[in-house]
Amino acid sequence: MDLTSKQRAQLRGLANGIDTIVHIGKEGIGDNLTAQADQALEARELIKCRVLENSLLSSREAAQALAKATRSEVVQVIGTKFVLYRPSHKAGKQDKIVLVRDKKRS
């Protein structure tokens, strides 16, 4: 999934109103954290994560690793927080977030 700049901007705007629900600490990104993020993405499609001060990972490293583990897309990384997006994978379930499409890419 490749997001366009307009889609990223749309998702960044939506992310402003959501709370951080995944916190990455000293243990980094393990199976439990990946499962928690995966469940959150399935339920919400757009999540905000935070890297705690005691983490050995930078925000960018954590974002890339968690995105890879959850098959999601990094929308934005700012300071200690980052936003991930993944459309729902449940069969027959409609996406909660409908992204605008670039007319050039249609």
pTM of the model: 0.85
Task: State the residue range of the domain holding 94.
Answer: 5-105
pLDDT for 9-58, tens place per residue? 999 999 998 999 999 999 999 999 999 999 999 999 999 999 999 999 99
DSSP assignment of 27-40: T-S-HHHHHHHHHH
Model confidence at 2: pLDDT above 90: no
Q: How many domains does the chain have?
A: 1
